[in-house]
């Protein structure tokens, strides 16, 4: 492997050797071959180390941390280890299509600022169906925070960004590291903080370049509901987002985490928060009410009915990449970021800028 590869790939993992080897092989199979793949093992994990050693590719490096620090910390560690000018992130349970990095590097050359973030659409694969996310790309002049958070319908949003789609300058990922300890909204948090810098823009390849595997019975930390911590996080980033985005996050994603409390006090607190610091629209109010008033299972059934997500529903293929889908936001996860529940929401070279 050359001393300075074109792209460094960072994959955090722990105790999922079969999944991480699948992810690593998809990275090593890229049509862009001048890469390094850095797997950061989040604590002692003999099985994962053994599985990765069997791959036998000199472009693979394994960094084992002495103790568990969480995915953001592992990503930051991998970025510090990166040798390439570009770093692409890949979660251990996802896969890349072979041209993913090639498309993104081509798109990066059209950037008009020094530090572009290059993302893409993805194919969301669940046991029930597969479909392309996000439903749409940002519109010219649309604030990215609003693209990622505002809804146009009660049961879905439109914008979305997910870790495994992100490629960015290594320098930017070092300048704006992932927030260690943040359990949810990791991509939204990082993206909002990164694009607040004047030398950064977001470009999104319209082609789906990532396979986002969602085994719906797999335990995930993102399925927990730390709504108080999320509200504290939201208050911290308020200067970086618009009032419309602030209201949307409060009345959708944080409310979806808080609604199982069935607490009228929490209901009033979040409504007051959105009205005091945000600018709610009609859809925000309707979303807020259906989250709090409809039982979760009923909401999920209505959502699936509206979006056509029954078993055997829409499927995305190479010839027909856009199938019946969602926007990166369901009722329990209504904001367009991937650290929500992994349940779901083209043409190469298209892009949307900040």
The per-residue pLDDT for range 201-229, each reduced to its tens digit, is: 999 999 999 999 887 455 444 444 589 99
288, 290, 295: which is closest to 272 by C-alpha?
Answer: 288
140, 107, 248, 109: which is closest to 185 by C-alpha?
Answer: 248
Q: Tell which wins on pLDDT, 2 or 77.
A: 77
Q: Tell which wins on pLDDT, 99 or 348.
A: 99
Where do the H-state alpha helices sit in 11-169? 17-28, 46-53, 71-81, 100-108, 144-147
Residue 149 has a pLDDT of 94
Rounded-to-integer distance, Cα 90 and Cα 87, Å: 10
Residue 222 has a pLDDT of 42
Share of residues in the chain with pLDDT > 70 (%): 79
How many helices (H) and strands (E) the chain has is answered by 13, 11
Residue 72 has a pLDDT of 96
Backbone angles phi, psi at 7, to 5 degrees: -140, 135
Sorting pLDDT into bands at 50, 70 and 90, what band is 351?
A: very low
Within 10 angstroms of residue 65's Cβ, the number of other Cβ atoms is 17
Reply yes or no on whether the pLDDT at 9 is more than 90: yes
Reply yes or no on whether the pLDDT at 94 is more than 60: yes
Share of residues in the chain with pLDDT > 90 (%): 71
Mean pLDDT of 295-309: 63
Reply yes or no on whether the pLDDT at 115 is more than 80: yes
Reply yes or no on whether the pLDDT at 319 is more than 50: no
97, 102, 104, 159: which is closest to 123 by C-alpha?
Answer: 97
Residues ≥6 apart with Cβ < 8 Å to 36: 1, 5, 7, 8, 9, 59, 60, 61, 82, 83, 84
Mean pLDDT of 66-82: 96
Rounded-to-integer distance, Cα 224 and Cα 111, Å: 38
Query: Which of the residue ranges 42-46, 258-262, 272-276, 319-323 would you say has the lowest mean pLDDT?
Result: 319-323
Residue 67 is given by DSSP the state S
Per the listing, tokens 């090593």 go with 28
Sorting pLDDT into bands at 50, 70 and 90, what band is 12?
A: very high
282, 189, 295: which is closest to 232 by C-alpha?
Answer: 189
What's this model's pTM, rounded to 2 decimal places?
0.84
The per-residue pLDDT for range 168-198, each reduced to its tens digit, is: 999 999 999 999 999 889 999 999 999 999 9
Mean pLDDT of 247-253: 95
Average pLDDT, the chain: 84
Angle of helix 17-28 relative to helix 46-53, nearest 10 degrees, comes to 30
Reply yes or no on whether the pLDDT at 235 is more than 60: yes
Taking the mean position of all CA atoms in its chain, how far away is CA 21? 21
Degrees (nearest 5) of the Cα angle 100, 220, 266? 115
Backbone angles phi, psi at 167, to 5 degrees: -125, 135
Residue 287 has a pLDDT of 92
């Amino acid at each position: 492997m050359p001393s300075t590869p074109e792209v460094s790939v960072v994959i955090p993992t722990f105790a999922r050797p079969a999944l991480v080897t699948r992810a690593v092989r998809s990275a090593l199979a890229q049509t862009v071959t001048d890469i390094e793949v850095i797997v950061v093992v989040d604590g002692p994990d003999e099985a994962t180390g053994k599985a990765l050693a069997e791959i036998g590719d000199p472009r693979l490096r394994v960094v084992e941390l002495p103790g568990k620090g969480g995915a953001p910390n592992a990503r930051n560690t991998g970025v510090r280890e990166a040798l390439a000018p570009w770093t692409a992130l890949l979660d251990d349970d996802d896969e890349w299509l072979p041209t993913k990095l090639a498309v993104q590097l081509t798109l990066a050359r059209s950037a008009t600022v020094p530090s572009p973030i290059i993302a893409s659409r993805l194919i969301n694969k669940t046991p029930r169906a597969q479909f392309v996310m996000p439903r749409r790309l940002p519109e010219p002049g649309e604030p990215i925070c609003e693209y990622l958070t505002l809804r146009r319908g009660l049961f879905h949003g439109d914008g979305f960004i997910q870790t495994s789609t992100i490629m960015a300058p290594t320098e930017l990922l070092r300048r704006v590291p992932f927030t260690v300890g943040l359990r949810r909204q990791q991509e939204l948090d990082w993206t909002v903080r990164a694009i607040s810098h004047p030398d950064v823009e977001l470009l999104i390849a319209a082609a789906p370049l990532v396979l986002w595997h969602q085994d719906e019975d797999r335990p995930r930390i993102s399925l927990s509901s730390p709504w108080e911590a999320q509200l504290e996080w939201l208050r911290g980033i308020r200067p970086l987002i618009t009032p419309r985005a602030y209201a949307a996050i409060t009345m959708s994603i944080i409310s979806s985490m808080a609604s199982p409390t069935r607490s009228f006090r929490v209901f009033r607190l979040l409504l007051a928060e959105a009205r005091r610091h945000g600018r709610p629209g009609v859809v925000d109010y309707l979303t807020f009410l259906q989250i709090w008033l409809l039982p979760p299972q009923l909401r999920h059934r209505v959502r699936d009915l509206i979006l056509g997500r029954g078993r055997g529903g829409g499927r995305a293929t190479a010839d027909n990449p856009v199938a019946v889908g969602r926007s990166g936001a369901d009722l329990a996860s209504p904001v367009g970021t991937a650290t929500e529940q992994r349940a779901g929401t083209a043409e190469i070279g298209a892009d949307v800028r900040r």
